[in-house]
Every structure is written in C-alpha cells, then in structure tokens.
Amino acid sequence: MAIKDIKMFNPGFLFVAETYWNLEKTMQGLGFDYTSDKVLYDKLKNNSASEIKGHLTADLTMQQKSVRFIEKSEEEGQSRHLVTINRWLPQ
C-alpha cells in the first residue's frame, strides 16, 4: 500500500481524504489520517440543529479524525448559512 510506504519514509506525513457517501471510516481504515466531514457540511446546509448536535457527539474516534469545513469551491458558499446558527447558541 502506498500510504504505508510513504509513512515508513516520512512518518510525520499526514494523509487527508476528501470523502463522500459516508466512506470516512473506510478511508481511515485504508490508512488516511483524516477525512473530510461532508456529513457535517450537509447538516449545516440544512440547518438541522438536533442533527448537527447528534453528529458532533457521535463516535469520538471519528470526531478526532475529521476535518471540518464550511465552504467548498464547487458548491455555493456556506458562510451565509452561519447567520442562522446564532439562533441555536445560548445568549
């Protein structure tokens, strides 16, 4: 496997996979150090506070190996959706 070979040559090298279709655990199992959290991105887009909370409190190992983002170059910007998140935060 290429990842193992590179890690033997350079142990500090990190592999990050952009993932879709709930393949995060699979990609991590193949040796990727971190995977993108597209599930959270989609939940932010749909403004579902309970689903976001559920996702962020699930499987600690996955949380520690997830890369979060709020915008993707090929999709509509998400930062405009963040205004609605303020409604969920305690005042």
pLDDT computed for residue 62 by the predictor: 87
Structural domain spans, the chain? 2-85
Q: How far apart, in whole angstroms, are the C-alpha atoms of residue 52 and residue 39?
A: 9
pLDDT band at 70 (very low <50, low <70, confident <90, very high): confident
Q: What is the 3-state secondary structure (H, E, C) of 50-82?
A: HHHHHHHCCCHHHHHCEECCCCCCCCCCCHHHH
pLDDT at 59 over 80: yes
Q: Pairing state of beta strands 34-36 and 16-17?
A: parallel
Picking from 2-11, 69-78, 79-88, which range would have the lowest pLDDT averaged per residue? 79-88
pLDDT band at 45 (very low <50, low <70, confident <90, very high): confident
